[in-house]
Amino acid sequence: MVSVGQAAPDFKLNNQNGKPVALSSFKNKKKVVVFFYPKDSTPGCTKEAQTFQSDLAKFKKAGAEVIGISSDADHTEFVKENNLSMTLLSDIGGKVRKAWKVKGAVFGTIDGRVTYVLDKNGVVTSMYDNLLDGAAHSKEALKALEA
């Protein structure tokens, strides 16, 4: 996994509207919270996304952009069903997940759930890895931003 103190690998992926988003576009402008999650519309991932959404104003107040990444090809329904306004990116084939060395769980059969907090320079300041408690990821990221 990418470790605290390391520069986060750049990426450019399409968002839920089909528009490309590059991590480097936030450099020197905003802190970024990147959360990797296994799959849209599953119970744990839905709870995780809903928790990030309910905390979105707190992230904005802390000067942070929130970006979710999964291997789903299309996030349109997930966004609509859960009234999500944060950026969700499609990492089809898992290239970004591999570059960030986010490991799979259950012998690699499920994509891992890891959240990173980056400073304005794109350096990892915090990392939280917990597959089972998706809702905790938002709270841990907020704690890291407030530290």
Predicted confidence (pLDDT) per residue in 52-101, tens digit: 999 999 999 999 999 999 999 999 999 999 999 999 999 999 999 999 99
Just list the catalytic residues. Answer: 45
pLDDT of residue 128: 97
Q: Which residue has the tokens 């950026």?
A: 87
Return the DSSP state at 59. H
- Contact criterion met (CB below 8 Å) for 36 and 72: no
Q: Hey, what CATH class is 28-146 in?
A: alpha beta
29-62 burial, b if ≥16 CB within 10 A, otherwise e?
ebbbbbbbbbebeeebbbbbbbbbbebbeebeeb
Domain positions in the chain: 28-146
- pLDDT tens-digit map of 96-125: 999 999 987 655 557 889 999 999 999 999
pLDDT of residue 108: 58
Which pTM was predicted? 0.94
- pLDDT tens-digit map of 117-128: 999 999 999 999
pLDDT of residue 106: 59
